[in-house]
Structure 1
Amino acid sequence: MSQSPHVAETSPKFTDANGNQTMPSAASASSSNSASQATAAEQSSSTKASAGQTFTADEPLTPESPNSKKRALSELSITEEPISKKTKDSPNMSSTEDVKSTDPVFPSPPDYPATKHDKETWQGFCEIESEPAYFSVILREMGAQDLTVREVFGMTPDLLDMLPQPIYGLILLFRYREFGTEDQPTECPTDVWFANQLPAQNSCGTLAMINILMNSTEISIGEHLQQFKDFTSDMTPFQRGEAFASFDYVKKIHNSFAKKMDILEGDKHLSYKVRRSQRLKDLESAPKGKNITSKSRSRRHSGDSTATDDSAESFEENGHHFIAFVPVGNEVYKLDGLDKQPTSVGSFDPEAGETWLDGASDTIATLMAAGDDDDYGVVALTQSPLAPLRRKACLAINTLARVESCLDGGSGTWRELVSDAQEPTSPRLLGVEALLPAHPVPSSLAATIDSEAMDGLLSRRRGLLAVLGELAAGIVEEMALVAAEDEKASQRRFDGGPVVKKWLEMLAANEYLEENLKRFT
């Protein structure tokens, strides 16, 4: 959940930062990692300080003669320790501590942007904006095929029909409040895959997509997600949430969007939640008649506390959350990671012309009307338009090849009769070269083409070229959109905060800020 008010490269790995197969909490794994890095740094510093002067391998061991090294080796007595064993502590050799000192540390220095090591070591989940381009990139990098995420501008049927079809799920972003929790079942239905969101993790956006992917039989989710689905098939929603929180493969992709400030803010608010939980526990365990409420309140409002009204309470009150709506069978489910179980919001009858979007739209509209704000956003997880466009292009290219083969067999002069010089776009440029064998010409159509005269074949060829031209234009447009999404995600992943901070420090050092501050306030 973004600002939540609540609480393997070849196969999925559910391990903590130390490599143990456990389900660590965000706070403990992060703090223990930082402590171990600090200890390693202190050991490295002491080793270097005690080493003193260093020597190279080309320097003689004794100053008497260039050949003294050779004589020293040959004159070793049986009681002397071999040089090869002494080099372990010798100053002219790199020790294990010296090697470790060059390894990346977590966290990186404050003036540095978030490094890859920071993002992969941090045990939290960063906040990600409700931007369809970011979600599309995350889906592609997780291995889900032929999917895209598009913004929904309205829940009316005509606006939903403008989106690429089919729509596999809807994701709603709203200012969090409990909604529709009274109809939750006591257990998760066996045909619904649902995972809880663990406390103090901003994973709700990615988790909403995972909850949709795991419940659709029409989506190819890729090797890693399929293994995760199989691994968690017999788990409860809470156990699946624990497994997801330790799913490093997805966490690394999610946190590739993290910036240094995201990591610092996440840790700060996690520490606030821990202190608040401890205060509540103290209040509950206090003896009856002892008034500690006023003390706790005064402590909360004190200037020494980092959990001020402007940071912690405001953060909680304005927390935003992603939830998913997905069809399973003939039921529509609301999958909210902060709920204990999935909630059915209605059913639909496809034979009667009903779609699952009707029930989902009504529920989303009700949720919006129940709030006192307009802070909402809806995105749809749909099939990528590239997939059907490429399938049609493959069939058209194979059909055109069949037509031209028949023309070549009938008369070698047919190309002289073609008035236009139009040629189909290269299959390689359209990204369909490897897909052509999977879309052969249907046998009935092939028989019709084989029996046609030259005039009919030439007319069919002109029609196929026109169709291919339209398909190629659509494919190129969608490929450009994918490239734009990748570029937008790349810009979001760039951490420019330290650069801006350094630039402002330089402006302050030469008194430019002081001289021009009034212009901007």
Structure 2
Amino acid sequence: MDMLSSDYQLKAEATSKRSRPAKNKPADNKADAGFHFIAFVPALGKVWKFDGLERQPQALGSCASDEDWLSLVKPDIRARMEAYEEDQIEFSILSVARDPLPELVNQLAANVRGLEIIQERLSSISESSAGLESTLADSIYENTILGPDESYALTRKTIDEVTVHERQEKEYRACSVEELVHHRQRLGQAQQELRAAIREEQQSQQMDEDHAEGRRYDYGPAIRTWLRFLARKRLIEDLL
């Protein structure tokens, strides 16, 4: 997490300058330190504070990879917010996080690969069991993805690169039909949730791209129009 925070020294300097006599006021009123970045980063088993005005990082405490490290930085952020609230010094907080979409697609690929293994096993069983196909057809969720799908950026390569745990694969290949059906239903339900999460993230990213695109302006037509006006008045001949 990065916090764009106004420097506390700015407040101290402003207070100090207001209390100085006019004759002692220096000629240069430029603040030595204004707005700057303060970054909080979990790394090497600790949470570090990187302040643009400090000489070196400060360790705020130990934190395991599976712990919520934000609890260590909240007191520091809250203290700064409370310190600046009275004088209304503005600040903003920016979170830098990993894009969740690739990980969601990888989870979907693992889900599809598991369904493929189960389907292979069920197909081999149904060939020797009459009347089993209709039962198996009813056990799968409607519109369940069983292979590559461009709408989810799911490719054959991504599915093939998935590593299924050896113990899990052996279980799929050794369990009974009832157990296979149960596993397939479980994976099918999990896939519905994964696909919904991917769709939500795709829509969110598309909205961000549309917003960014809407803020871009093509000044080419205006420039060409002005050039034509200047050419008619023979004002650009000397520049050519």
Matched residues in 2 for 1:493 and 1:361: separation?
A: 36
- Residues 141, 188 of structure 2: 8 Å contact kept: no
Tell me the equivalent position of 2:62: 348
**Counterpart of 2:60 in 1: which secondary structure?**
strand
Q: CA, structure 1 residues 326+448, in 2 after alignment: closer, same or farther (shift >3 Å)?
A: same
**Counterpart of 1:440 in 2: which secondary structure?**
coil
Map 1:461-500 to 2 at 5 A: 461-494=184-217
Matched residues in 1 for 2:42 and 2:168: separation?
A: 37
**Counterpart of 1:325 in 2: which secondary structure?**
strand
Q: What code does the residue aligned with 1:482 have?
A: Q
Matched residues in 2 for 1:345 and 1:415: separation?
A: 61
Aligned pair partner of 2:104 in 386, 389, 394 = 389
Matched residues in 2 for 1:421 and 1:172: separation?
A: 45
Q: CA, structure 1 residues 321+445, in 2 after alignment: closer, same or farther (shift >3 Å)?
A: same
Q: What code does the residue aligned with 2:91 have?
A: Y
Is the counterpart of residue 423 in structure 1 residue 143 in structure 2? Answer: yes
- Residues 172, 324 of structure 1: 8 Å contact kept: yes
Query: RMSD over aligned Cα, in angstroms?
Result: 3.5
Identity %: 21
Q: What code does the residue aligned with 2:152 have?
A: L
- Residues 126, 133 of structure 2: 8 Å contact kept: no
**Counterpart of 2:9 in 1: which secondary structure?**
coil
Aligned pair partner of 1:407 in 122, 136, 140 = 122
* Larger relative contact order, structure 1 or 2 (CA cutoff 8 Å, min sep 6): 1
Q: Which has the higher helix share?
A: 2
Q: Deviations over 1:118-153 (max 9, x none)?
A: xxxxxxxxxxxxxxxxxxxxxxxxxxxxxxxxxxxx
Q: What code does the residue aligned with 2:209 have?
A: D
Is the counterpart of residue 361 in structure 1 residue 83 in structure 2? Answer: no
Map 1:1-16 to 2 at 5 A: none
Tell me the equivalent position of 2:15: none
**Counterpart of 1:360 in 2: which secondary structure?**
helix
Q: Which runs of 5+ in 2 are unaligned?
A: 11-22, 223-240
How far residue 345 of structure 1 moved from its aligned partner, in angstroms, is 4.8
Runs of 4+ in structure 1 off by over 4 angstroms are none
Tell me the equivalent position of 2:9: 178
TM-score, structure 2 as length reference: 0.67
Q: Deviations over 1:170-190 (max 9, x none)?
A: 1112334439xxxxxxxxxxx
Q: What code does the residue aligned with 1:344 have?
A: Q
How far residue 374 of structure 1 moved from its aligned partner, in angstroms, is 5.8
Q: CA, structure 1 residues 465+326, in 2 after alignment: closer, same or farther (shift >3 Å)?
A: same
- Residues 46, 63 of structure 2: 8 Å contact kept: no
How far residue 404 of structure 1 moved from its aligned partner, in angstroms, is 0.7
Aligned pair partner of 1:432 in 154, 161, 164 = 154
Q: What code does the residue aligned with 1:423 have?
A: N
Aligned pair partner of 1:328 in 43, 46, 52 = 43
Q: Which runs of 5+ in 1 are unaligned?
A: 1-169, 180-290, 298-311, 500-521
Tell me the equivalent position of 1:373: 88
- Paired residues in the alignment total 197
Q: CA, structure 1 residues 366+487, in 2 after alignment: closer, same or farther (shift >3 Å)?
A: same
Matched residues in 2 for 1:440 and 1:345: separation?
A: 37
Is the counterpart of residue 454 in structure 1 residue 168 in structure 2? Answer: no
Which has the higher mean CA deviation after the structures are superposed, 473-482 or 418-427? Answer: 418-427
- Residues 173, 376 of structure 1: 8 Å contact kept: yes
Q: What code does the residue aligned with 1:375 have?
A: E
Matched residues in 1 for 2:68 and 2:190: separation?
A: 31
- Residues 348, 354 of structure 1: 8 Å contact kept: no
Matched residues in 2 for 1:390 and 1:346: separation?
A: 35
- Residues 394, 432 of structure 1: 8 Å contact kept: yes
TM-score, structure 1 as length reference: 0.33
Q: What code does the residue aligned with 1:429 have?
A: S
Map 1:188-203 to 2 at 5 A: none
Matched residues in 1 for 2:35 and 2:211: separation?
A: 22
- Residues 141, 189 of structure 2: 8 Å contact kept: no
- Residues 6, 89 of structure 2: 8 Å contact kept: no
How far residue 452 of structure 1 moved from its aligned partner, in angstroms, is 2.1
Q: What code does the residue aligned with 2:204 have?
A: L
Q: CA, structure 1 residues 178+435, in 2 after alignment: closer, same or farther (shift >3 Å)?
A: farther
Q: What code does the residue aligned with 2:151 have?
A: L
Matched residues in 1 for 2:71 and 2:189: separation?
A: 37
Matched residues in 2 for 1:478 and 1:335: separation?
A: 31
**Counterpart of 1:323 in 2: which secondary structure?**
strand
Q: Deviations over 1:407-454 (max 9, x none)?
A: 111114644222367132353321232322232322111111112222
Matched residues in 1 for 2:36 and 2:204: separation?
A: 27
Q: What code does the residue aligned with 2:189 have?
A: A
Q: What code does the residue aligned with 2:56 have?
A: P
